[in-house]
Amino acid sequence: MATATLSTQIQPRTPQGGFANEPFFNFKTPENARAMKAALDQVASQLGREYDLIIGGRSLKTDGKIRSFNPARPEQVVGVHQKAGAEHAEQAMTAALTAFESWSRTSTDERVSLLLNAAHIIRERKLEFCAWLTYEVGKNWAEADADVAETIDFLEFYAREALRLAAATTPIQYPGERNRLLYIPLGVGAVIPPWNFPFAIMAGMTAASIVTGNTVILKPSSDSPTIAARFVEVLEEAGIPGGVVNFCPGSGATFGNAIVQHPKTRFIAFTGSKAVGLDIHELAAKTQPGQIWIKRTILEMGGKDSILVCADADLDAAVDGVVAAAFGFSGQKCSACSRAIVEAPLYDVFVERVREKVAALTVGDPATNPNLGPVINKSALDSMLGYIETGKKEGRLVAGGSAPQTPEGGYLLQPTVFADIAPDAVLAQEEIFGPVLAIIKVNSYEEGLAVANNTEYGLTGAIYTEDRARLEHASREFHVGNLYLNRKCTGAMVGAHPFGGFNMSGTDSKAGGPDYLYLFTQAKSVAEALRGADPR
C-alpha cells in the first residue's frame, strides 16, 4: 500500500457542484448488456487470486487462509485471503495508531480529495466491480449495479459532508470572544461490514471513518473479502497513506473480538445480524484496563419489515412493490419486505396477483442475469429451508418452497410465498433473510398498523393507500427508521433516504444522511477572548 501523501500520487479532486446520485445502467440496452458480459469475462480470468493482509502499508501472509466462493458455483474460488488471528490485532492497532498521528492532522481538503479520487476510479470501472459482486455474492446485474452506484454515492456524499462539517460554526458569537466549533476525529475504529452489500456498506463505513480523520482496521465478512480487497486497492491507487486502512479478514470470534475489546479501539462500525451486533455492543461496553474513553458503537442490525396494503391501495403498484421488495437479491437485505399485511377486502385478489407475479420470476446463475441468483451459502440455504417447513405448518404455501438443483450445485431457492400467516407466527416474527414472504390478513388499517409494529425490529416499512389522513398517521405511528409511502421498502438512496432503524434494528445510524459523520467525530468548543474586550 502507498505510504506517500495523497498529493504525490495523483492530482487531487475537489467537488464540482452539489451532490447527485450516480445513475444506473439500463441492461436492456444491447450495448450495456454486451459490456457487462465483457466485464464478467474479464473478471473471470482473475478469480482465485491470493490477497495479503495489509497492515501499516505492508503485505503479510499467514498460515491460515479464507477462501471465498461463488455461491452459484460453489466449487469456483473467487479469492484466497490471509486469515488474521488474535495475534495480528496488536499489529493492526499499532499501525493504525501510528497513522492516526499524521492522518488526523491532514487537512480536510486532502482527505476529501482521497474519497473523490476513489469515486472517480470506481466510476471508470463500474462494470468490473459489478462483475466482482456477481461472482462473490451472487448479485444479478441490476443489484450489482445498485451496489456499485451506492458505493460511489457514499464517497461523493461523505466528501461533501466532511467539508460542511469542517465549516461548522457556533450558533452565536459571544460578545468579546471568537467562538469556534470543531469536529475532531475519534481515533482508531473497527469497521465490520456485511456480505450482502459488500461494496457499498463496507466502503461507506470506511469512507465516513477516514474522511473525518480516523484510521481503520477493516475486517470484512468471510463471505465477501475479495470485494473489500479490491476496494483497498482502489484506495491505494487513490493515494491513501499506509496504516490509514488496515485490511484484515479474519474470524469474528478471534480477530474481530480482539479488536472490539482492545482498549485503544475508539469506535466500532458494524452492519450485520442482531445477535452479532448485540454481542459487539456488550463487548465494547466493558471497559478494559488502560481504556480512557467510552467506546462508541454504530450498529445497523436486522429487520422484519412490513408493507401494509390498505383496501383502497393501487393494487398493481402494491403487488409490484411487495414482490420487488421481498425478492430483490433473493430477500437478502435487512430492508426486504418479509411481511405483507393486507386488508381483508383486497386480500384474496392480492394473494392471487402476487402468486402470478412470483411464478414469472426466474432463478439461476446471476452471470446470466435472472431475477434471483443464489443465497449466500449452504448454511443460509439450510436455515431458509427450515423456515419453509415451519411455514407449511403455520400457513398456506402459495408459491415456491423448494431449492432447484443445478449441475454446478448453486445455493438456489425459489421465491416462496405463504398466505394466512398469523401475526405472532414464527414466519411473522423471525428474520429469515431470504426469499420467503409471509402474507397476513387484517380487518382494518388500525389492525394492520398494530401488526406492522408488533416485532422487536424497526428498520423499514411501507404503506399503500390513497387516504392522505392514513399516510400522515402512518408517518407518525409506523415505528420504523425508514418509512415509504406508496412505494417499496427497499432501495434507499444516499442523500434522499438516510438509512437506519429503531429498536433491535440498531442505533438508527442514518447512513447516507447529514447526521452520519457526527458519529465518527467528537465536538470541541474553542472560545478565544478578543483583545480589549470586557473580561466580564
Which residues are marked as active site? 300, 334
Q: What angle do CA 320, 323, 328 make, to 5 degrees?
A: 115
Give the Cα separation of 191 and 216 in Å (integer). Answer: 7
C-alpha cell at 523: 465536538
Q: What angle do CA 197, 515, 431 make, to 5 degrees?
A: 40
Please list the residues that pair with 58 across neighbouring strands: 55
Alpha helix segments (H runs only) across 45-105 = 89-103
Q: Element (H or E) spanning 471, and its range?
A: helix 468-477
Helix H, strand E, coil C: the string for 228-287 is HHHHHHHHHHHCCCCCCEEECCECHHHHHHHHHHCCCEEEEEEECCHHHHHHHHHHHHCC
C-alpha cell at 17: 457542484
Residue from 185, 225, 202, 192 nearest 78 by CA: 225
Give the Cα separation of 374 and 365 in Å (integer). Answer: 7
Please list the residues that pair with 493 across neighbouring strands: none
3-state secondary structure at position 365: coil
Scanning the structure block, which residue is given the C-alpha cell 479501539?
A: 265
Would you give the DSSP letter of residue 25? Answer: P
3-state secondary structure at position 337: strand
Residue from 279, 236, 256, 235 nearest 88 by CA: 256
Residue from 106, 50, 52 nearest 78 by CA: 50
Give the Cα separation of 442 and 423 in Å (integer). Answer: 9
Count Cβ neighbours within 10 Å for each residue of 90-123 and write b for 16 or more, e otherwise: ebbbbbbeebbeebbebebeebbbbbbbbbbbbb
Would you give the DSSP letter of residue 434? Answer: S
Do residues 72 and 408 make contact, with C-beta atoms less than 8 angstroms apart? yes
Residue from 70, 39, 130, 146 nearest 375 by CA: 70
Do residues 52 and 59 make contact, with C-beta atoms less than 8 angstroms apart? yes
Compute how many other C-beta atoms are within 10 angstroms of the C-beta atom of residue 52.
15
